[in-house]
């Protein structure tokens, strides 16, 4: 009976909490995948190893230093298929009066979703072989997940944790949909100086952040269930956000150095700067408490700079090397560094959790000696190695290309621990085992190998079609591109 105080205290925090969206206290958002493989079927088939090549119109975004390679006027359009299957773990515990929490069993939840988008479009024009300019649209973030498509229970689709007290249980569930995208509209230019080329670009970005699901729910739900006698039963916190942001500016700068002419050994690099967005949101609690918040206020919202929702997209830097050691064969390798840690810099929790640390035996844990813990998040930056190869088969004035590639995406999901709301110091709450529950629910993900392949064809040097596929264990993509030259 001594652990009963946890429920009452937790429910009070639900009523008083001030959640925010973006990197929120939500496992379903914790494994968002960015669209950081360079756009187009050719790049996708090469595993994204494209920064030193940059030899088609996607160079406008991938590395504008490659634009002077493109003759005349060119149009490029590319569509992409996205399939997601993130995996989430749940640990269940048995808690008996006076006994430490004992793990009982675990579950894996693996929802699936997919979508398609026109992920790239560009127009480029070369003034001779020294200067070229381009205008483009690129999708740099596309993520969609709806738990209603994989509904496993009436009280929630993903269960963060479950505590069995013998006389009843305490669980926390998350249910709803997520639809995120960022469109970058930009202009870029490339300049050739002998064997060295440089390029710059500027982008205007608009974020789409939607927590309003398509599965029949009214909003994104967090459901606290307490089935013990005399408890509150079901308590809900509902978040809603349907935002298309104002314009935010980003940019890129790149280079190419044609080191050796015979094998066309080339070194290339690009740095891309991504913006930060504010996201308005609304909350509704069981009992009718509700509110609407934003970073700047206005529009019926309350300004709250400390707790407002933000999305800080990560910057990335790539450097690559390519060569054609024998006729018809291309080899390419890139190393990409992505600042995924920026995604968690604006993490804001929903709940505060109360319990006892290991210094207090479970038999002596009461509300008088409990401490509070609020979730805080971290994520690791990632270094991605990309390898690609292409073989060209000449067919008169046309050509057929066979491509393959590989890259390894390191684990970079959100990891969560509990800290004191007053001091920010780390706390390890073991009765009930809230800290371990969060380490399980927010496990940071796993590294994922991606195997890529595709075909390309050029017809009379005026028309190119490129197809690419990217197959990972949890994320899969397909792309088709069309390039027309005048």
Q: Is-contact 480 119, C-beta < 8 A?
A: no
Q: What is the rounded average pLDDT for all residues in the chain?
A: 84
Q: Give the largest Cα separation in the chain, rounded.
A: 84
- Residue 19: pLDDT band (50, 70, 90) is very low
Q: Is the pLDDT of residue 364 over 70?
A: yes
Please give the tally of structural domains in the chain: 1
Contact partners, residue 246, CB within 8 Å, separation at least 6: 206
Contact partners, residue 393, CB within 8 Å, separation at least 6: 328, 399, 400, 401, 402
Q: What is the dihedral of CA 301, 281, 314, 272, to 10 degrees?
A: -60
pLDDT of residue 1: 37
CATH code assigned at 48:
2.40.160.60
Q: Higher model confidence: residue 485 or residue 291?
A: 485
Strand residues in 158-264 grouped as ranges (E): 158-164, 169-175, 177-193, 196-210, 220-226, 233-240, 242-244, 248-260
Q: Element (H or E) spanning 463, and its range?
A: strand 463-471
Q: Is the pLDDT of residue 22 over 80?
A: no
Mean pLDDT of the 304-317 span: 75
Flag the least confident range among 57-71, 220-234, 318-332: 220-234
- Residue 452: pLDDT band (50, 70, 90) is very high
- Residue 288: pLDDT band (50, 70, 90) is low
- Residue 224: pLDDT band (50, 70, 90) is confident
pLDDT of residue 422: 85
Beta strand 169-175 with 309-312 is unpaired
Cα Rg of the chain, angstroms: 25
Q: Is the pLDDT of residue 406 over 70?
A: yes
pLDDT digits (tens, 9 = 90+) for 45-88: 999 999 999 999 999 999 999 999 999 999 999 999 999 888 88
pLDDT of residue 246: 83
Q: What residues pair up with 141 in beta bridges, in sequence order? A: 34, 182
Q: Is the pLDDT of residue 200 over 90?
A: yes
Mean pLDDT of the 414-428 span: 88
The structure tokens listed for 412 are 């970079």
- Taken in order 414, 408, 456, 326, the sign of the CA dihedral is positive
Contact partners, residue 306, CB within 8 Å, separation at least 6: none
Of 391, 28, 73, nearest to 175 (Cα)?
Answer: 28
Whole-prediction pTM: 0.85
Calculate what percentage of the chain has a pLDDT beyond 90.
45
Ordered alpha helix ranges (H), 74-165: none
Q: Higher model confidence: residue 450 or residue 348?
A: 450
Of 321, 243, 247, 300, nearest to 20 (Cα)?
Answer: 243
Q: Higher model confidence: residue 482 or residue 212?
A: 482
- Residue 213: pLDDT band (50, 70, 90) is very low
Structural domain range at position 279: 2-485
- Residue 282: pLDDT band (50, 70, 90) is low
Q: Is the pLDDT of residue 202 over 80?
A: yes
Flag the least confident range among 38-52, 222-236, 279-293, 315-329: 279-293
pLDDT of residue 298: 62
Distance CA 48, CA 40 (A): 9
Distance CA 280, CA 244 (A): 10
pLDDT of residue 201: 98
CA 245 to the chain's CA centroid:
18
pLDDT of residue 12: 33
Mean pLDDT of the 403-407 span: 97
Calculate what percentage of the chain has a pLDDT beyond 70.
84
Q: Higher model confidence: residue 375 or residue 203?
A: 203
Q: Is the pLDDT of residue 215 over 50?
A: no
**DSSP per residue over 217-240, as a string?**
-SSEEEEEEE-STTS-EEEEEEEE
Q: Is-contact 418 435, C-beta < 8 A?
A: yes
Count Cβ neighbours within 10 Å for each residue of 257-268 and write b for 16 or more, e otherwise: bbeeeeeebbbb
Contact partners, residue 53, CB within 8 Å, separation at least 6: 46, 66, 266, 268, 320, 322, 330, 332
Flag the least confident range among 144-158, 321-335, 380-394, 471-485: 144-158
């Amino acid at each position: 009976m001594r652990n009963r105080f946890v429920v009452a205290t937790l429910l009070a925090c639900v009523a008083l909490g001030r959640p925010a969206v973006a990197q929120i206290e939500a496992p379903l958002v914790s494994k968002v995948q960015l669209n950081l493989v360079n756009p187009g079927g050719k790049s996708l088939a090469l595993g994204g190893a494209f920064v030193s090549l940059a030899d088609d119109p996607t160079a406008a975004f991938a590395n504008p230093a490659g634009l002077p390679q493109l003759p005349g006027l060119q149009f490029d359009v590319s569509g992409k298929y996205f399939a997601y299957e993130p995996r989430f773990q749940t640990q269940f515990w048995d808690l008996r009066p006076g006994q430490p929490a004992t793990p009982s069993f675990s579950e894996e939840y693996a929802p699936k979703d997919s979508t398609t988008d026109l992920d790239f479009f560009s127009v480029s024009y070369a003034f001779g072989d020294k200067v070229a300019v381009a205008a483009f649209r690129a999708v740099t973030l596309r993520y969609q997940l709806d738990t209603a498509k994989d509904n496993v229970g009436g009280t929630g689709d993903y269960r963060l944790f479950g505590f069995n007290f013998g006389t009843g249980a305490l669980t926390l569930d998350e249910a709803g949909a997520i639809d995120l995208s960022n469109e970058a509209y930009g202009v870029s230019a490339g300049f050739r100086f002998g064997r060295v080329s440089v390029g710059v670009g500027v982008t205007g970005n608009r974020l789409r952040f939607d927590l309003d699901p398509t599965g029949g729910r009214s909003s994104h739900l967090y459901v606290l269930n307490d089935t013990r006698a005399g408890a509150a039963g079901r308590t809900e916190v509902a978040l809603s956000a349907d935002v298309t942001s104002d314009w935010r500016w980003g940019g890129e700068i790149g280079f190419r150095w044609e080191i050796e002419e015979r094998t066309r050994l080339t070194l290339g690099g690009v740095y891309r700067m991504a913006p930060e967005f504010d996201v308005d949101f609304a909350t509704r609690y069981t009992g009718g408490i509700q509110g609407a918040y934003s970073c700047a206020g206005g529009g019926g919202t309350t300004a709250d700079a400390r707790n407002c929702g933000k999305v800080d997209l990560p910057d990335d830097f790539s450097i690559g090397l390519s060569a054609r050691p024998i006729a018809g064969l291309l080899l390419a390798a890139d190393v990409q560094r992505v600042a995924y840690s920026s995604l968690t810099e604006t993490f804001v929790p929903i709940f505060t959790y109360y319990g006892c640390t290991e210094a207090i035996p479970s038999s002596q844990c009461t509300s008088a000696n409990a401490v509070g813990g609020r979730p805080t998040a971290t994520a690791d930056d990632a270094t991605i190695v990309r390898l690609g190869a292409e073989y060209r088969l000449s067919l008169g004035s046309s050509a057929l290309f066979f491509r393959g590639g590989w890259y390894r995406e390191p684990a970079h999901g959100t990891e969560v621990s509990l800290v004191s709301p007053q001091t920010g110091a780390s706390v390890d709450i073991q009765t009930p085992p809230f800290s371990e529950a969060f380490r399980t629910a927010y496990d940071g993900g796993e590294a994922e190998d991606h195997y890529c392949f595709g075909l390309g064809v050029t017809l009379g040097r005026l028309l190119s079609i490129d197809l690419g596929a990217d197959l990972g264990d949890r994320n899969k993509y397909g792309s088709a591109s069309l390039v027309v030259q005048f």
